[in-house]
Amino acid sequence: MMSGVEFPLWAALPAAVLLVAGGLFTLVGALGLLRLPHFYARMHGPSMGTTLGTGCVLVASMLLSSALAGRPVLHELLIVLFVVLGSPVTAMLLMRAAIYRDKARGRLKEE
């Protein structure tokens, strides 16, 4: 496992904690997507889960690859940038689309 690489303690322990936390956040977000009653409630789960879970996992990945290379490796910040910029934009666009479609079908009262 792990290609026989032995990581130092200062990298392995925080990375393990971050990986478990990221996995749990993402799982809870997806569970919310599956179980919540209507679309406007379902919107919240994955937005929180993906942003927070991706952040945790990418910090862990940065720690491990830095420990492996013996110098700071920061290119995972690119994915963090795309996810942190992209997630609110997609959430906002999808919410606007859902409101528009529900109004067009008369399922949502005009305020």
Partner 1 sequence: MSMVLDYAVWFALLCFITAMLFALVRLLHGPAAQDRVLALDTFYVNGMLTLLMLGVRSSSQAYFEMALLIALFGFVGTVALAKFLLRGEVIEPW
Least distance CB 111 / partner 1 (angstroms): 19
User: Which residues lie below 8 Å from residue 104, measured CB to CB, with a gap of 6+?
Assistant: none
Q: Where are the alpha helices (DSSP H) in the chain?
A: 9-35, 39-42, 44-69, 77-104
- Residues within the interface to partner 1 (CB under 8 A): 1-3, 5-9, 12-13, 15-17, 19-20, 22-24, 26-27, 29-31, 33-34, 39, 42-43, 46, 49-50, 53-54, 57-58, 60-61, 64-65, 68, 75-76, 78-79, 82-83, 86, 89-90, 93-94, 96-98, 100-101
